[in-house]
């Protein structure tokens, strides 16, 4: 008999920690310290120090409106997010470790992007399970940079070169061109990842998913995971001039569903169920947040998150199946909207109808397999 995995519309319980009975690999985490490492905001942090109120006041004069809207609150970007912070966020859950995804290491020379990998290696212990580094895939000396990443850490397993570009002026773009993935030089770099058995974290907006499908069609030899389910901008509410009404949002969601369904035909692609509480989706939960540097108000509870995430999670699991979906936090970017326990409590409720073995794959094994976590680079010992 086939087990029914439809997600119940009944109100879930509100206990964040009780329902998740498997070990977790958080497959999408960012660490940073703007004071001691090179970030776009580092000059501002060095001038103002730990004065989040002042930073909030000057940020509108220094950064584009689309940038501020994307992050939701500037104090989450200028505040350090380090291993100790992550441990506190994950308290109460059985977390084996995390995968670090490149996070805005700001240098002029692209060949110095391995500095982030070196920094992580010096900062973290064995619960840093894998590193996805930054690289410009179109750079003529890409192979040299990949070797530098490998030399910096045996935990380097893949690359993220961000593709997120949006045609709307109210939505922040994270790369210079909507067609970056179609550039011949960039595609040569993408193919090199496959030749070197390195994975690619693809982060783009939903309107770019057809381009991703064409990329996968042309290069079946590179393993790819789609970050944040393709980030359907304004699917949950108004953002950047989009999603102004229910009809508009339903169209956004319908288009996203069709694109995700098409992508599922590419066997080398997995998807991360993550990043769905970033302000860019339009839920506006960050507007309820408490004091600077703190996660969102407890008023944002598990029940509400389950209702909001259900359409996305259910569709991802139905189209990609249990073996190609990976749950992750995208902290601290999503921390602007809720705390880690509430997020994973909601994930637990959303997978309550799945067997323990299936949940183990969704929260642990799929990430371990995709990122080669139990391969030769794996380390053992205490947490960092």
Taken in order of first residue, the domains within the chain and their CATH numbers are: 24-370 (3.20.20.140)
Integer Cα distance of 347 and 379 in angstroms: 28
Integer Cα distance of 39 and 129 in angstroms: 23
Q: Angle formed by the axes of helices 246-263 and 209-218, to 10°?
A: 10
Q: Is 202 helix (H, G, I), strand (E, B) or coil?
A: strand
pLDDT at 50: 66
DSSP 8: P
In Å, how far are 150, 188, 264, 337, 344 from 194, measured between CA atoms? 15, 10, 19, 36, 32
Kind of pairing between the strands at 224-226 and 269-273:
parallel
Integer Cα distance of 28 and 30 in angstroms: 7
Count other Cβ atoms within 10 Å, centred on residue 248: 14
CB-CB contact of 86 with 29 (8 Å)? yes
104, two tokens: 């805005």
Q: Name the stretches of the chain with pLDDT < 70.
A: 1-19, 49-52, 289-299, 375-384
Integer Cα distance of 162 and 133 in angstroms: 11
C-alpha torsion sign, points 209, 215, 216, 217: positive
Integer Cα distance of 133 and 140 in angstroms: 17
H helices within the chain, ranges in order?
A: 42-48, 52-62, 65-71, 75-78, 83-89, 114-123, 142-152, 184-195, 209-218, 246-263, 302-320, 340-350, 356-360, 366-370
pLDDT at 7: 42
102, two tokens: 């490149």
* Residues β-bridged to residue 270: 225
Closest CA to 258 of 315, 200, 173: 315
In Å, how far are 21, 109, 237, 291, 384 from 273, measured between CA atoms? 18, 33, 19, 28, 25
* Residues β-bridged to residue 109: none
């Amino acid at each position: 008999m086939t087990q029914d995995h439809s997600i119940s519309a009944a109100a879930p319980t509100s206990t964040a920690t009780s329902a998740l009975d498997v070990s977790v690999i958080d497959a999408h985490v960012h660490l940073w310290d703007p004071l001691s490492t090179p970030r776009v905001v580092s000059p501002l942090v060095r001038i103002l120090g730990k004065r989040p109120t002042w930073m909030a006041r000057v940020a509108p004069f220094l950064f584009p409106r689309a940038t501020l809207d994307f992050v939701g609150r500037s104090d989450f970007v200028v505040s350090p997010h380090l291993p100790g912070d992550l441990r506190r966020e994950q308290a109460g859950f059985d977390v084996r470790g995390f995968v670090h995804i490149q996070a805005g290491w700001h240098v002029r020379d692209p060949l110095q992007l391995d500095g982030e990998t070196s920094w992580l290696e010096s900062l973290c212990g064995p619960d840093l399970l894998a590193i996805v580094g930054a690289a410009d895939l179109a750079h003529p000396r890409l192979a040299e940079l990949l070797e530098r990443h490998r030399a910096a850490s045996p935990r380097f397993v893949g690359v993220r070169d961000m593709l997120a570009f949006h045609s709307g002026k109210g939505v922040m773009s994270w790369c210079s061109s909507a067609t970056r993935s179609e550039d011949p030089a960039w595609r040569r770099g993408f193919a090199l990842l496959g030749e070197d058995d390195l994975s690619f974290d693809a982060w783009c907006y939903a309107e770019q998913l057809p381009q991703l499908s064409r990329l996968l069609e042309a290069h079946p030899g590179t393993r790819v995971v789609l970050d944040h389910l393709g980030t359907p901008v304004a699917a949950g509410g108004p953002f950047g001039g989009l999603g102004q009404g229910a009809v508009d949002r339903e169209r956004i969601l319908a288009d996203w569903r069709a694109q995700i369904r098409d992508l599922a035909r590419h066997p080398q692609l997995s998807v991360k169920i993550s990043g769905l509480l970033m302000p860019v989706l339009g839920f506006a939960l960050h507007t309820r947040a408490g004091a600077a540097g703190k996660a969102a108000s407890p008023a944002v509870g598990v029940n509400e998150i389950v209702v909001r995430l259900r359409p996305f999670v259910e569709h991802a699991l139905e189209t990609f199946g249990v073996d190609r979906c990976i749950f992750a936090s995208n902290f601290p970017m999503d921390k602007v909207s809720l705390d880690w326990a509430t997020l994973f409590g909601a994930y637990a409720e959303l997978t309550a109808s799945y067997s323990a073995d299936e949940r183990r794959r969704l929260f642990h094994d799929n990430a371990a397999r995709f990122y080669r976590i139990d391969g030769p680079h794996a380390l053992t010992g205490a947490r960092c």
